[in-house]
A and B are shown apart, each in its own frame.
Chain A
């Protein structure tokens, strides 16, 4: 599938969103509700993306090595590891579990 169109549309929307903050008078956009929605959306989306990448395979929920990566990453974050270390720990956990025969 060709994703070029969507890559460029996503980039345009991202830039216009940023620019909107600079160009639109603060009074128009600035209301507490707007901020709250931006805050809860961010958390909800990241939680959802975490779960999808950990346990979804197409339209099925599966338990494979990625769940091990999730647990390992949580432990690394708990121990205050830097972001890059967390990512590497996730990769090592998934690769290691597959070596041991977990799908």
Chain B
């Protein structure tokens, strides 16, 4: 990373690097749960490692094994994983505008473009700090996530019958844990409930795995036809969890800045680089405004 490495500045003196490192440790640790659940779902050790090494996006990895565990086909698993990965493309645009990586660094940056590295980078104001935060979080999580995936896969294999140890219950908890921080207002909650009901209704009628894709279609249509800006009946829903770059797992790290959804955005659009934010232009970045307050400034 020659050019991008901070020159004289010690990483130890960089607040962004510290945040990135603490997020990397917290996130890397639960690679254990992914590894154990993946082998419990029926993938073997190396397939599990391939997901962490090559696919490297927690939500998509859990989606893949979640479909397999439910008896779905590889095609359905791949589709759910691909749809859940769309938000990473949005992060890519955002980070490309913020970090401007050049040459082969773009290809490396793309691989470590995930929720946490994006959140760390967009949480910084100074360009050098953004880079340090992004790379420390991205590379740190990549390393630890893979180490702990391997540990979890070994553990999962050693445990034997996954149901006896409640690993199927652990998978349920993991998905709810990924969803939970995104439910911050009425609208995302409504989408979640509708998609849950659609899924339950579809289960008896279509092949395993397909109900998830039906729910994805419904969610996609809601997003497609949902109007930009703040609806009158739900003022101030910016920060409601519908932005793709919401930081998940926010319970994990103690050293957190305020949610990234409301930071850095002004500067980004100021650069003239469009960053598609469905809602942002309508609200700006009013600091201290709480989404649940329901009061327009």
Interface residues of A (CB under 8 A from B): 1, 3-11, 13-15, 17-24, 26-27, 29-61, 65-66, 68-70, 72-74, 76-77, 80-84, 86-96, 98
15 A–B contacts, CB within 8 A, in A order? A7-B55, A19-B92, A24-B93, A29-B89, A30-B93, A35-B244, A35-B276, A35-B278, A36-B278, A39-B223, A43-B182, A69-B173, A70-B169, A73-B173, A81-B251
Could you give, for residues 84-125 of chain B, a 1 whenever the CB lies within 8 Å of some chain A CB and a 0 otherwise? Answer: 111111111111110001000011011101000000000000
Which B50-78 residues have C-beta < 8 A from chain A? 50-51, 54-57, 59-60, 62-64, 66-71, 74-75, 77-78
When distances are taken between beta carbons in the complex, the residues of chain B under 8 Å from A7 are 43, 47, 50-51, 55, 64, 74
Are A65 and B54 in contact, with the CB atoms below 8 A?
no
When distances are taken between beta carbons in the complex, the residues of chain A under 8 Å from B93 are 21-22, 24, 26, 29-30
Instruction: Indicate which residue in A10, A45, A94 contacts B55 across the interface (CB closer than 8 Å).
Output: A10
Could you give, for residues 220-251 of chain B, a 1 whenever the CB lies within 8 Å of some chain A CB and a 0 otherwise? Answer: 10111010100000000000011110000101
When distances are taken between beta carbons in the complex, the residues of chain A under 8 Å from B167 are 91, 94
Q: How far is it, in angstroms, between the C-alpha of A10 and the C-alpha of B184 when the chains are bound? A: 30
Beyond known contacts A7-B74, A59-B207, A77-B176: 18 more, CB 8 A cutoff: A10-B82, A29-B93, A33-B223, A36-B226, A37-B220, A43-B188, A44-B216, A44-B218, A46-B175, A46-B178, A46-B179, A48-B196, A52-B67, A53-B168, A53-B175, A90-B166, A90-B176, A91-B173
With known contacts A18-B111, A21-B88, A45-B215, A69–B170 Cβ distance under 8 A: yes
Interface residues of B (CB under 8 A from A): 26, 29-30, 32-33, 42-43, 47, 50-51, 54-57, 59-60, 62-64, 66-71, 74-75, 77-78, 80-97, 101, 106-107, 109-111, 113, 163-180, 182-183, 188, 191-196, 198-200, 203-208, 211-212, 215-216, 218-220, 222-224, 226, 228, 241-244, 249, 251-252, 273-279
With known contacts A22-B109, A30-B93, A58-B208, A50–B228 Cβ distance under 8 A: no
Are B170 and A94 in contact, with the CB atoms below 8 A?
yes
Q: How far is it, in angstroms, between the C-alpha of A31 and the C-alpha of B195 when the chains are bound? A: 24
Interface centre among A20, A43, A46, A88 (most CB of B within 10 A): A46
- Taking the closest CB of chain B, its distance from the CB of A79, in whole angstroms, is 10
With known contacts A1-B74, A38-B87, A30–B179 Cβ distance under 8 A: no
- Taking the closest CB of chain B, its distance from the CB of A76, in whole angstroms, is 7
Q: How far is it, in angstroms, between the C-alpha of A17 and the C-alpha of B84 when the chains are bound? A: 10
With known contacts A18-B111, A20-B89, A43-B241, A90–B174 Cβ distance under 8 A: yes
Are B244 and A70 in contact, with the CB atoms below 8 A?
no
Instruction: Indicate which residue in A5, A30, A41, A74 contacts B275 across the interface (CB closer than 8 Å).
Output: A30
